[in-house]
Amino acid sequence: MPDQRCTACGGRGGTEKVEYTYETDQNGNTVAKEHRYYGPCTSCGGSGRIA
């Protein structure tokens, strides 16, 4: 069976990741923050293909 396109990332090799943290602002208040970044797909390791 030949390699197939990764269904998790659609063959792009990467996916958008979201990380949530709590940080303290300049007034000492705790604020929830959302950090988004693009990283390698965890299903195919960034190749865009699965065996």
pLDDT band of 1, cuts 50, 70, 90: low
- Residue 49 CB: number of other CB atoms within 10 A? 13
pLDDT of residue 26: 96
pLDDT of residue 40: 96
Residues 13-36: tens digit of each pLDDT: 999 999 999 999 999 999 999 999
Q: Work out the percent of the chain whose per-residue pLDDT is above 70.
A: 96
pTM, 2 dp: 0.60
pLDDT band of 3, cuts 50, 70, 90: confident
